[in-house]
Amino acid sequence: MKDVASPIESWSLDREIVLVKLLNHPRAKVFAAWTKPEALAGWFGPTGLRVESHEADIREGGVWRFDMVGMFEGKEQRFPNLMRFLEIVPNERIVMDHGSPDPDDPNRFRVMVTFDEQADGKTVLTMRQLHPSRERRQVVIGFGAVEYGLQTLEKLAAWLDH
């Protein structure tokens, strides 16, 4: 991984969440779903939420600014997000920081997505999240980050199948 400025200095298992999904598509197609703005906005996020993209510059140094939007207790709620792309290695790896648009967001976390093509043309996608502290990792697990992440990967699989 490139040396990039980040509040996260080293990888640590007690701050990590790892999600893995076997996808029935070749690596190049899966990678494209992560790097084409219209595709990414079409599947990203947990079940029941849609994405409204405000800025999508998906390249090293670029950002994706978007809201996750959903209905809660009869009201539309928006959850502002910002991803900053730190490293993009075509068909192999994407590294980004993910948090709110606040430049001083203390809960921003690092994400590394890897794409491992299998001999049968399927792809193993591994998404590793590194949170700023053990405590923050426990908080996000507590509010459903693992389940929501798995829902996101299921939405990706369904999007790829169409």
What is the CATH number assigned to the segment(s) 15-161?
A: 3.30.530.20
**What is the domain partition of the chain in residue ranges?**
15-161
In degrees, rounded to 5, the angle at the alpha carbon of residue 159 between the alpha carbons of residues 131 and 83 is: 30
Total residues found in the chain within this entry = 162
Closest CA to 112 of 9, 7, 3, 16: 16
Closest CA to 56 of 48, 45, 67: 67
DSSP three-state, residue 156: helix
Burial label for 161, CB within 10 Å (0-12, 13-18, 19+), is exposed
Q: Could you read off the pLDDT tens digit of each residue along the chain, which spans 162 residues?
A: 444 444 445 667 899 999 999 999 999 999 999 999 999 999 999 999 999 999 999 999 999 999 999 998 999 999 999 999 999 999 999 999 999 999 999 999 999 999 999 999 999 999 999 999 999 999 999 999 999 999 999 999 999 999
Burial label for 69, CB within 10 Å (0-12, 13-18, 19+), is middle
State the pairing for strand pair 109-117/123-130.
antiparallel
